[in-house]
Amino acid sequence: MHSSDSLPIQHNLDLKPYNSFGVSVIAKQFCSVTDADMLPAVFDHARSKNLPVLVLGGGSNMLLVDDFPGLVIHIRLGGVQCNKSSGLVKAGAGEGWHQLVLKCMNNRLHGLENLALIPGSAGAAPIQNIGAYGVELNQFVHSVGVYDNNRGVFNRLNGEECQFAYRDSLFKREDGAGLIITDIILQLHRDWQPNISYQTLKEQLGTDSPDHQQVFEAVCRIRTSKLPDPKKLGNAGSFFKNPVITLVKYQQLQQDLPQLPAFPATSENEVKIPAGHLLDELGWRGRKHGGAAVHNSHALVLVNAGNANGREIYELSCEMRRSVLDRFDIDLQTEVTILP
């Protein structure tokens, strides 16, 4: 076990390289965790110094608004093990998500192709229950390894215990506070079964029986055409969730927006509608606020267009939310976690 004295603590570190928006905020203390056994000592250190804690993975789904007055714990737990006979894949929480998708494909273990090119780490994937093009992560989660900081123990949760929902999980809720993901185990398919239920993907493929490489490449093409590369233009992908509304509300909206599409939701009386469509209707593409901007080709994507600070990006998102609420009486929820 590690002691607090042996921890690699850094002081007053700029988090610009550690968040995909590329905003510059200062962490009072910072510690990279490369071994899960470090976690008890890291949290002991934070308690002894009375420091608030922020756990950071790939930093691809959060907006840092202000300097952080506590300890940032950067999860860098690596390693991927693929069991070809069982289809089980275990990945450390610090593994890059897209790199994990590639490793699974190279081992002929399938299911994640539709989730290619999603930025972030393997450990962040279940927190958000990432999804794209007709596939959600929860379909493949066998179990998630966690360190329970409240009880000081390591544990493993099965898929049901993770309480997955649309872009949501136990780890985002109050009763999941204190659970730090250390690894994930996924149950993948040895036999290839394409999921091309998503219309945009089906159109891009032009065939009803694509192989796994064709699906992977089509997903990458669509994402690249719609979403800017965070390494070139700071962003966190889709900033808002697609709202779920009642059928009655949808029918009312259609009177103003006859082209508004709708997708099935979990309840028969509800549908999911694209937030981007609402924002497009209000002319948000390309609009700016200081160094922050809405991307020219996708109204759901906020970007750091020129040394934006977190406050500017946050204020822009608030203006967008207000305009949708005022016009359509829909309160958009953020997909990105905002840390004040």
The residues carrying an active-site annotation are 167, 238, 335
Query: Comparing C-alpha atoms, which of 100, 200, 183, 120 is closest to residue 147?
Result: 183
- What's the number of CA atoms in the CB half-sphere (13 Å) around residue 214? 16
Residues contacting 201, CB < 8 A, separation 6+? 114, 133, 134, 215, 218, 219, 222
Q: Would you mind telling me the total number of residues written for the chain in this entry?
A: 340
State how beta strands 68-75 and 26-33 pair: parallel
Amino acid at 225: S
- For residue 150, report the phi and psi dihedrals to the nearest 5 degrees: -70, -35
Sheet holding 301-304, edge to edge: 234-238, 301-304, 292-294, 288-289
